Copies of this chain bind each other. A is one copy, B any other.
Amino acid sequence: MHKSTAEIGFVETTVNVRYAETDQMGIVYYANYLVWFEVGRVAWCKAKGFHYAEMESTDKRYLMVAEASCRYKAPAQFEDDIIVKTGLSKATDRTIHYRYEILKKSTGQLLATGETTHVIVDLNFRPARLPDHYRKYFSLPPRRAANYE
């Protein structure tokens, strides 16, 4: 199983804070950062050259979340433009690790950081392998023809 720990660089996307995302403290409810991480992952996939929706619909492979964490440093508020930076921190053909930085666009202030770990599964939630033609997107070398595992 090949590994890549190389920093592949962050992909950036922007979300505007929705009223629905705020809570009665007047700031974004904490679970919504995990939704923004997902928005970040989808943007990351597009930036790398594929659509995550197609990995599911065509290849029947799913990046099921195994772990997620977030550290909240400063609150985000309604109508703030938020930059979601998403980077691949590690990938094998079984497991994908992402990390995130959430920033306030107007000031550049870091609002939160986070990580998610995903296992590749099939339609029945059983561990599976990343389809070969996706390896390049995750900086994994081509599988050798002799690799019969």
Contact = CB atoms under 8 A, between A and B. Distances in A.
A65 B72 contact: yes
A68 B69 contact: yes
Interface string A17-40: 011101111110111101100110
A143 B32 CA distance: 37
Interface size class of A (residues with CB under 8 A): 35 or more
B42 A20 contact: no
Chain A interface helix/strand/loop/mixed: mixed
A135 B18 CA distance: 24
A19 B29 contact: yes
Contact of A30 (B23, B24, B34): B34
Interface of A: 16, 18-20, 22-27, 29-32, 34-35, 38-39, 42, 51-53, 56, 62, 64-72, 75, 77-79, 125
